[in-house]
């Protein structure tokens, strides 16, 4: 919680009997420009209970209010009570706080150890791990980090699509055209090629479809040959996935894919039956959701096999029992909105109150040069190609601009991967993204490399000044940071914690992305306008303190997005 807004709210609450500081806190706004103060309290909604014009209320409050020494004045303008910071005092407080708290800056115990399950990434084995899954992976991973920073215990779950009819197809293709070596070397691409090959061949020879179905039935019945191929395909894929996750800096606490629930669904189906929720329709079994304006939720097919929804219901019940989550988030694109709405309703109808703690966090689709990404025919941009492409591109740039750099390879990975993640997280999640090679790797403007470069630039100033960040206690005199440009940097540090909380409340990491781009831009303005390594020791120490603080917060912000901050680039 923003401590300054809290101070304002408490001060106002002292003057207003009928309103609590919490209510007032929520009403406080950020004025559009600094002439109107740094925070503003609108008095319009008090007009009725006070039987007075908002401007009169604001004026009375302005006279009475007891200001804390972080504020210079409170002024009534147009029905608002506007608060103006004592810039010098604010600068000193904020910089000291960042320097002391470092990577724990803006952390909190808000979560109080409550458990948040985050179900993310979840690609389908033997189908492409494409840039569409990148969104789920990076948004989920960032939320994991953000919630953790705010005191929650996060459990990251990879609900892999490791069961389903695609395995029947891949087994047929492998037996006809497969090659063991290939699957071992490049499982993701190798299995995808088999999957695509199957679809080409089955168009000419529809009997293959029946064969594939047979193999899947054999899997479901526990046939040894079918299961051992399946297990092998899965293990090879998971190994390769883990390499990609490692490159992306993504961590999962559990790899419990759909197959994990194979032996856990029957009790759930029984329970649904006991609770009188099941209906039969043409041999299939479903939960009628007509009263809720939704199509029925199918839980068992005619042939007795279960469905995606059955596994999701079972998984949710299992997770509640195992982790006792306060919230369970699901990251998929919005084409699955109905799927989640349906089975969340089923869980509610089963009488589980915690169904309201299940939350689908949808995001927009990724199109590639205007077309939807699909797996059958092969218009896919594989995630691995994107990442490797980015790393190659960065390597070229480094060779051109800074060939003397140490750790070239490590830096190229950090910057290339950072560019990909940042590009994704700078879009409001619900928007569709058109993926193009050019914008993903752009190094100008509001991009990951720009923020990383700003961080490295701050580091280079500190090296020039011979300052050991961790071990230096500068004398901070906020009076040197009262000008507009410096103050803007200070304000962005001050509101950094609000951005994190807002990002968490809305499950929207792009709020944080935007904030650190703004911070990087203001810092670059500061750097341009104010020489740092000046003679005057007092000025120099204060400006260096700001440089350290900005560097620290950029690094923290990047890390909450899942991006590294190299010292040099």
* Residue closer to ligand ARG, measured from CB, 98 or 219: 219
Query: Residue for token digits 């077309």?
Result: 371
CB neighbour class for 254 (10 Å; exposed up to 12, middle 13-18, buried from 19): middle
Residues 253-292 as x/- pattern, contact with ligand ARG by CB under 6 A? ----------------------------------------
Q: To 5 degrees, how large is the angle CA 69–CA 73–CA 79?
A: 135
Least spacing, CB of residue 558 vs ligand ARG, in Å? 27
Residue 312 binds to ligand ARG (criterion: CB under 6 A):
yes
Window 149 to 178, contacts with ligand ARG (CB under 6 A)? 159, 161
Question: DSSP states of 516-564 as a string?
Answer: HHHHHHHHHHHHHHS-SS-S-HHHHHHHHHHHHHHHHHHHHHHHHHT--
Residue from the set 166, 332, 513, 522 that interacts with ligand ARG by CB under 6 A? 332
Least spacing, CB of residue 413 vs ligand ARG, in Å? 26
Least spacing, CB of residue 118 vs ligand ARG, in Å? 10
Residue 494 binds to ligand ARG (criterion: CB under 6 A):
no
Q: Are 94 and 543 in contact (CB under 8 A)?
A: no
Query: Residue for token digits 């204060």?
Result: 542
Residues 70-99 as x/- pattern, contact with ligand ARG by CB under 6 A? ------------------------------
CA distance 22 to 5: 10
CA distance 515 to 375: 36
* Residue closer to ligand ARG, measured from CB, 88 or 124: 124
Catalytic annotation on 130?
A: yes
Burial 529-566 (b: 16+ CB within 10 A, else e): ebebeeeeeebbbbbbbbbbbbbbbbbbbbbbbbbbbb
Q: Are 50 and 57 in contact (CB under 8 A)?
A: yes
Angle between helix 448-464 and helix 510-529 axes, rounded to 10 deg: 40
Q: One of 5, 70, 130, 360 is an active-site residue; which one? A: 130
Least spacing, CB of residue 254 vs ligand ARG, in Å? 12
Least spacing, CB of residue 330 vs ligand ARG, in Å? 5
Catalytic annotation on 127?
A: yes
Binding residues for ligand ARG, rule CB under 6 A, total 9
Residue 563 binds to ligand ARG (criterion: CB under 6 A):
no
Residue 363 binds to ligand ARG (criterion: CB under 6 A):
no
Residue 119 binds to ligand ARG (criterion: CB under 6 A):
yes
Window 418 to 457, contacts with ligand ARG (CB under 6 A)? none
Question: Do the strands 284-287 and 278-281 form a parallel or antiparallel pair, or are they unpaired?
Answer: antiparallel
Closest CA to 339 of 309, 379, 314, 362: 309
Catalytic annotation on 133?
A: yes
Least spacing, CB of residue 544 vs ligand ARG, in Å? 47
Order of strands, edge to edge, in the sheet holding 327-333? Answer: 153-157, 115-119, 327-333, 358-363
Q: One of 5, 92, 133, 515 is an active-site residue; which one? A: 133
**Candidate ranges 42-50, 66-74, 118-126, 319-327; the one touching ligand ARG (CB under 6 A):** 118-126
Residue from the set 85, 144, 216, 330 that interacts with ligand ARG by CB under 6 A? 330
Residue 192 binds to ligand ARG (criterion: CB under 6 A):
no
* Residue closer to ligand ARG, measured from CB, 122 or 155: 122
The partner residues of 535 in beta bridges, in order of sequence, read none
* Residue closer to ligand ARG, measured from CB, 12 or 241: 241
Q: Tokens standing for 491?
A: 């304000």
Name the site residues for ligand ARG (rule: CB under 6 A). Answer: 119, 122-124, 159, 161, 312, 330, 332
- Which of the residues are catalytic? 127, 130, 133
């Amino acid at each position: 919680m923003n401590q300054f807004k809290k101070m304002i709210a408490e001060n106002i609450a002292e003057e207003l009997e009928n309103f609590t500081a919490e209510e007032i806190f929520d009403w406080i706004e950020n004025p559009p420009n600094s002439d109107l103060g740094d925070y503003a309290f609108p008095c319009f909604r008090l007009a009725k209970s006070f039987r007075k014009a908002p401007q009169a209320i604001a004026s009375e409050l302005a006279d009475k209010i007891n200001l804390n020494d972080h504020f210079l004045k409170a002024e009534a303008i147009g029905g608002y009570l506007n608060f103006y910071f004592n810039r010098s005092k604010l600068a000193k407080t904020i910089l000291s706080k960042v320097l002391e708290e470092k990577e724990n800056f803006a952390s909190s115990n808000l979560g109080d150890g409550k458990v948040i399950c985050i179900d993310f990434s979840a690609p389908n084995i033997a189908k492409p791990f494409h840039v569409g899954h990148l969104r789920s992976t990076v948004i989920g991973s960032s939320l994991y980090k953000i919630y953790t920073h705010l005191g929650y215990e996060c459990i990251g779950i990879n609900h892999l699509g490791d069961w389903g009819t695609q395995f029947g197809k891949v087994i047929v293709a492998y037996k006809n055209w497969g090659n063991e070596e290939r699957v071992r070397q490049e499982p993701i691409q190798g299995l995808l090629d088999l999957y695509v090959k199957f679809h080409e061949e089955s168009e000419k020879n529809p009997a293959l479809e029946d064969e594939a179905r047979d193999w899947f039935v054999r899997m479901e019945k526990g046939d040894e040959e079918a299961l051992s191929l399946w297990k092998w395909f899965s293990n090879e894929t998971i190994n390769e996935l883990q390499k990609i996750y490692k490159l992306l800096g993504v961590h999962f606490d559990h790899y419990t894919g759909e197959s994990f629930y194979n032996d856990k669904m029957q009790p759930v189906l029984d329970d649904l039956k006991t609770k009188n929720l099941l209906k039969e329709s043409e041999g299939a079994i479903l939960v009628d959701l007509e009263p809720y304006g939704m199509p029925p939720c199918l839980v068992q097919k005619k042939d007795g096999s279960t469905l995606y929804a059955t596994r999701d219901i079972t998984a949710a019940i299992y997770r509640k029992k195992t982790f006792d989550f306060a919230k369970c988030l699901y990251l998929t694109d919005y084409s699955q909105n109905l799927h989640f709405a349906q089975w969340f309703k089923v869980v509610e109808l089963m009488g589980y109150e915690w169904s309201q703690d299940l939350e689908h966090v949808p995001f927009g689709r990724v199109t590639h040069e205007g077309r939807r990404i699909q797996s059958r025919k092969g218009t896919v941009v594989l995630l691995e190609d994107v990442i490797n492409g980015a790393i190659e591109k960065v390597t070229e740039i480094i060779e051109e601009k800074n060939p003397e750099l140490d750790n070239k390879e490590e830096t190229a990975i950090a910057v290339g991967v950072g560019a990909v993640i940042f590009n994704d997280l700078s879009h409001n999640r619900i928007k569709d993204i058109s993926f193009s090679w050019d914008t993903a790797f752009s190094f100008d403007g509001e991009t990951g490399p720009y923020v990383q470069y700003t961080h490295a630039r701050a580091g280079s100033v500190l090296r020039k000044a011979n300052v050991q960040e961790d071990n230096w206690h500068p004398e901070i005199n906020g009076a040197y940071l009262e000008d507009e440009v410096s103050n803007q940097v200070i304000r962005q540090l001050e509101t950094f914690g609000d951005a994190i909380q807002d990002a968490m409340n809305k499950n929207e990491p792009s709020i944080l992305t935007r904030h650190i781009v703004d911070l990087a831009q203001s810092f670059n303005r500061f750097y341009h306008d104010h020489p740092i390594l000046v003679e005057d020791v007092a000025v120099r120490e204060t400006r260096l303190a700001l440089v350290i603080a900005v560097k620290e917060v950029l690094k923290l912000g990047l890390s909450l997005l899942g991006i590294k901050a190299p010292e040099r680039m």
